[in-house]
Amino acid sequence: MSGPIDLSLPDGLEYGIIETDDELEELIAYNSAIHEPRDGETLRRLVEHQPGFDLKMNYYIRDTDSGKIVSSLNAIPSAWAYDGIPIKNLELGFVGTLEAYRKKGLIRKLYYRYFEKEFHRGKYHISNIQGIPYFYRQFGYDFLIPAWRSILLRTNQIPAVPSDKKPDWMRLSIRGATKANLNDIIELYDRLTSPLLVSTIRDRPLWELQEKFHLDFSREFTTYVVKSGEAVVGYFRLVSRENEKEPENSYLQVIESSISRIDGVRRTLEFLRSQCAERGFHQIALSGATTSNLSRIGLDLGGQMNRGWKHQLRIRDMTQFLKRIRPALERRLRNTMFADLTQEMAINTYRHRYVLDFQDGRIRDINDLGVHEDGKYLDFRTPPSDFVRLLLGQYSPEELSHQNIDFIVQGPVKSLVETLFPKQESFIGYYFC
């Protein structure tokens, strides 16, 4: 963004913030009309139940002649984590403009009048959107973290259970989850996300809300537990995806799973195979997180990872973000040759120079020295977007240097950069109610 943004509206249009129940109903009807009917009901549920999502975090533009809402967006908070460190996320959600009012910059005006202010006022660390390609780059977003990625597995790839002698793992039971199982499920979810770089945080109240509604956006899911005797050894969330027009393309989808034992994985695969047989389905989609044991075995059986989509992300203030994740950066130096590092290290993004001051392996301070070119801090130079890709573990330094000649890591700092910013998997589980 360069220079002031013109926030004035064309004649006949006015800004608004949702403040009353009647206005909320109007916004719900509007979103149902421009997106899908189920999107309006999802918005209603979030406004009524999503932690921290205030009614006044919904913004719109109205045509004063017709009295109709013609463009809207909202700001939905959620809790994420970077290498186990909580970070605050603000989602740019439910974005849309009536066709007759497009190409007038209305979303841009709404974004800078309302969303940008809330993003800074609330001191959020990151923002994400699950939106169309390219458009949101103007606001600083970039495709980064995998979304909706699945491992596609045909039912005939799952080994059949012998009819004459059932294996011992068939003694494990699979039942619908109850409130009594919630502590075990939460522990298993934490086990699933702990190896991940970026993941979503669910506190107990959010878990309880999710188990109350059983909805991933508008998709109904059932949570199952896998039990060995009375011990819960796994859980998974299952969605049935019927395709009425093309029944042969119907499938079961495991949107999330954490199963601690191989016998539990085998029992779950047999359960999924039998459920498909009952419905006449021939395919299963497993969650794309390879920290999931179920997904790992699905790949071993010949399942294929699809491309999926990606969350578009923006970091609000890089200096503050680096300070927030300082414990993770220091932790990565432990038990390495840099454990007692005492020196300055600069990240030169051609627009900023973020200088990390190390003392005995700890980061004493992080400062932004700006764009001055004085011949210093040239060993690590990276375009801003490439640094975010590195920081969020999507690419290694070597991959980025091959993709972009402006990404330069040279001299003794190269091994330090590789140590501080390893390539690492991320997975975003459902983070709404």
CB contact at 8 A, 51 and 77: yes
150-308, CATH topology level: Aminopeptidase (3.40.630)
Q: Which CATH architecture has domain 13-140?
A: 3-Layer(aba) Sandwich (3.40)
pLDDT score for 295: 98
pLDDT score for 290: 93
Residue 21 Cα to chain centre, angstroms: 30
What does DSSP say about strands 380-381 and 215-216: parallel, antiparallel, or unpaired?
unpaired
In tens digits, the chain (433 residues) has pLDDT values of: 556 889 999 999 999 999 999 999 999 999 999 998 899 999 999 999 999 999 999 999 999 999 999 999 999 999 999 999 999 999 999 999 999 999 999 999 999 999 999 999 999 999 999 999 999 999 999 999 999 999 999 999 999 998 888 999 999 999 999 999 999 999 999 999 999 999 999 999 999 999 999 999 989 999 999 999 999 999 999 999 999 889 889 999 999 999 999 999 999 999 999 999 999 999 999 999 999 999 999 999 999 999 999 999 999 999 999 999 999 999 999 999 999 999 999 999 999 999 999 999 999 999 999 987 677 888 999 999 999 999 999 999 999 999 999 999 998 899 999 999 999 999 999 999 9
Task: Please tell me if the domain spanning 13-140 has the same topology as the one spanning 317-420.
Answer: no
How far is the C-alpha of 239 from the C-alpha of 246, rounded, in Å?
17
Tokens of 278: 């009952």
**Domains of the chain, residue spans:** 13-140, 150-308, 317-420
Residue 182 Cα to chain centre, angstroms: 23
Q: Largest alpha-carbon pair distance within the chain?
A: 78
pLDDT score for 375: 75
What does DSSP say about strands 126-129 and 283-287: parallel, antiparallel, or unpaired?
unpaired
CB contact at 8 A, 161 and 170: yes
For residue 237, which of 218, 217, 215 has the smallest C-alpha distance? 215
Give, in order, the Cα–Cα distances in Å from 239 to each of 30, 208, 287: 28, 19, 11
For 317-420, CATH gives 3.30.1050
Question: 246: burial class by Cβ within 10 Å (0-12, 13-18, 19+)?
Answer: exposed
